[in-house]
Amino acid sequence: MTTEESKAALVARLGQLERAARPLNPGTGRRRTLRNAVSASAERFLRRIETLKAFEDDAGSGQGLLAEPIGERGLELERVIDLFEREVVTPGLNPASGGHLAYVPGGGIYHAALGDYLAAISNKYAGIFFTGPGPVRMENQLLRWVADLVGYPASAAGNIASGGSIANLTAIATARDAHGLKGGDLATAVVYLTSQAHHCIEKALRIAGLGEVQVRQVPIDEHFRMRPDALTSLIEADRAAGLRPWLVIASAGTTDTGAVDPLDRIGAVAHAAGCWFHVDAAYGGFFLLTEHGRSMLRGIETSDSVVLDPHKTLFLPYGCGVVLVRDAAPMLATHHYFGNYMQDAAAARDEVSPADVSPELTKHFRAVRMWLPLKLLGLAPFRAGLEEKLLLARYFRREVAELGFEVGPEPDLSIVTYRWVPPGADLERCNRINQRIVEAVRRDGRVFLSSTMIDGRFTLRMVALSFRTHRKTIDLALRVLRAAAAEATAA
Ligand SMILES: *Cc1c(COP(=O)(O)O)cnc(C)c1O
């Protein structure tokens, strides 16, 4: 083949491939069709959200997805949407339902979904300031707002990560390097937390190469809060034994009971001992928007690092966890790297780039899903929604006690623990009955409640956190519980 011929063949092939790849970039008309179908599906869902079950036990487990393998040819739009609604949206937990009162409910406000849409359409690069000055300023502005809420100084830095687990990992890796922990130090370094700390903390320690550190469970009081006096004693004993107290991790809203450790007193003990003080406020942090939350979380401002999950307590859809570190320097020291392929970006440095303070380089442009709702709605409805959740928990506790359930302590935030104790039932029978109650509630499905074990007692939990949970949802939960308790006791 001559050079001319081979060029002609190349051009012809490029033309073919361009045509074959054209569906990747739909035109106006096709975009409208796609958008309308997706919008219609979203509307079908949202218009029925009040009557959809919070847990759907009888709709399979998404097996139908496997009947449609990924293949060379696309499917009809209607079939794809139908597959999605039937196999993905319907089965299992419906986290968008106000009746989701289990685990720690998530959010999913509409404005945030539209933010995701805009983020994906522009696909702005959110990792590095040079290429994405707008996205990076937006993220840092949001982080500054959260830092002000927490009470951190101007030196703070942070990151909008994918969730609380990665946010905690980022903080723990920073704490490791800030205290210069190296391999040889691990066996003598000590972490202090309580039995109520979220499991992602120990997971983060392991991932951060710290699986060999000593972990002390600090005793808790009758409200499941860390006891500062017990922390002091443990630290003193470890010192005396030649160990190196390193990290104190307090919870601002434990997952089991929503307990808030006494942050001001724990912080004072931690700092006096020269420890890094980390607060896991993944669930409780944004209650700082309420007066009650501010008083419960007093002392959070003394921490060295903190985690708050906007996908929980700011009602955003899943995929959003904030980590803040009081002083940017150690966070940068742990995460900042440089590659030659990034040399053009080095000059532009008016803002800390997310890639310099987190494990991620390229990232989902998460900031818009937080920015758009905050800009459109302002803070007032968030404050009101959060205060409503705090009061709904109190309301539930009163009413469920009225039904004859034994209730746990007055909630620190929006989680209530309770259990059904029929007269004369021993622990084993009690546990069985309460397990049957949870199962009956799940089968009913109108609300979804979960359980935990507290000191060997099978305990029921109710968590008010969804922006769609209101008084009538709680009244429904109470009716479902009354019936379930009667059924479980009779069985
Ligand atoms: C939810 C939660 C986590 C984990 O966060 P994810 O966003 O699920 O990764 C950590 N700590 C606490 C206290 C939580 O409530």
* CA–centroid distance, residue 351 to ligand 1 (Å): 28
Instruction: Return the ligand 1 atom nearest residue 318 CA.
Output: 7
Residue nearest to atom 6 of ligand 1 (CA): 164
Domain 116-377 sits in CATH 3.40.640.10? yes
Supply the CATH classification number for the domain 380-490.
3.90.1150.10
Ligand 1, from 286, 309, 413: best to mutate by most atoms within 8 Å of Cβ? 309
pLDDT, mean of residues 431-454: 97
* CA–centroid distance, residue 20 to ligand 1 (Å): 44
When the pLDDT of each residue in the chain is averaged and rounded to a whole number, the result is: 96
Please tell me the distance from the alpha carbon of residue 105 to that of residue 312, in angstroms, as a whole number: 7
Please tell me the distance from the alpha carbon of residue 324 to that of residue 365, in angstroms, as a whole number: 18
What percent of the chain lies above the pLDDT cut of 70? 99
pLDDT at 339: 80
* CA–centroid distance, residue 255 to ligand 1 (Å): 8
Are 289 and 145 in contact, with CB atoms under 8 Å apart?
no
Instruction: Return the ligand 1 atom nearest residue 309 CA.
Output: 7
* CA–centroid distance, residue 389 to ligand 1 (Å): 18
* CA–centroid distance, residue 199 to ligand 1 (Å): 9
pLDDT at 342: 76
pLDDT at 344: 73
pLDDT at 348: 59
Instruction: Return the ligand 1 atom nearest residue 166 CA.
Output: 9
Residue pointed to by tokens 């209530």: 416
Using CB distances shorter than 6 Å, the residues near ligand 1 are 104, 163-165, 198, 200, 251, 253, 255, 280, 282-283, 309, 321
* CA–centroid distance, residue 321 to ligand 1 (Å): 9
β-pair type (305-308, 276-281): parallel
Residue 346 pLDDT > 70: no
Q: What residue ranges in 105-199 does DSSP mark as E strands?
A: 157-161, 189-193
pLDDT at 347: 61
Are 441 and 484 in contact, with CB atoms under 8 Å apart?
yes
Beta partners for residue 214, in sequence order: 190
* CA–centroid distance, residue 29 to ligand 1 (Å): 42
* CA–centroid distance, residue 281 to ligand 1 (Å): 8
Ligand 1, from 103, 162, 165: best to mutate by most atoms within 8 Å of Cβ? 165
Instruction: Return the ligand 1 atom nearest residue 198 CA.
Output: 11
pLDDT at 343: 76
What percent of the chain lies above the pLDDT cut of 90? 96
Instruction: Return the ligand 1 atom nearest residue 281 CA.
Output: 13
* CA–centroid distance, residue 487 to ligand 1 (Å): 34
Ligand 1, from 169, 205, 280, 415: best to mutate by most atoms within 8 Å of Cβ? 280
* CA–centroid distance, residue 36 to ligand 1 (Å): 35
Residue 161: pLDDT band with limits 50, 70, 90: very high
pLDDT, mean of residues 285-294: 98
CA dihedral 174, 112, 139, 167 (to 10 degrees): 0
* CA–centroid distance, residue 283 to ligand 1 (Å): 7
Residue 108 pLDDT > 90: yes
* CA–centroid distance, residue 76 to ligand 1 (Å): 39
Q: For the chain, which residues make up each domain, given as ranges? A: 116-377, 380-490
Element (H, E) at 248: strand 244-251
β-pair type (321-325, 157-161): antiparallel
Residue 207 pLDDT > 80: yes
pLDDT at 337: 87
β-pair type (276-281, 244-251): parallel
Ligand 1, from 159, 198, 207: best to mutate by most atoms within 8 Å of Cβ? 198
Residue nearest to atom 12 of ligand 1 (CA): 282
pLDDT at 150: 98
Residue nearest to atom 3 of ligand 1 (CA): 164
Residue nearest to atom 5 of ligand 1 (CA): 164
Residue 345 pLDDT > 80: no
pTM attached to this predicted model: 0.97
Residue 458: pLDDT band with limits 50, 70, 90: very high
- Taking only the tens place, the pLDDT of each residue in 40-64 is 999 999 999 999 999 999 999 999 9
* Contacts (Cβ under 8 Å, ≥6 apart) of 50: 98
Residue 112 pLDDT > 70: yes
Q: Which two tokens stand for residue 206?
A: 């392991």
Measured in whole angstroms, the distance separating CA 383 from the mean position of its chain's CA atoms is 19
* CA–centroid distance, residue 106 to ligand 1 (Å): 11
Ligand 1, from 160, 205, 251, 283: best to mutate by most atoms within 8 Å of Cβ? 283
Please tell me the distance from the alpha carbon of residue 214 to that of residue 208, in angstroms, as a whole number: 14
pLDDT at 193: 98
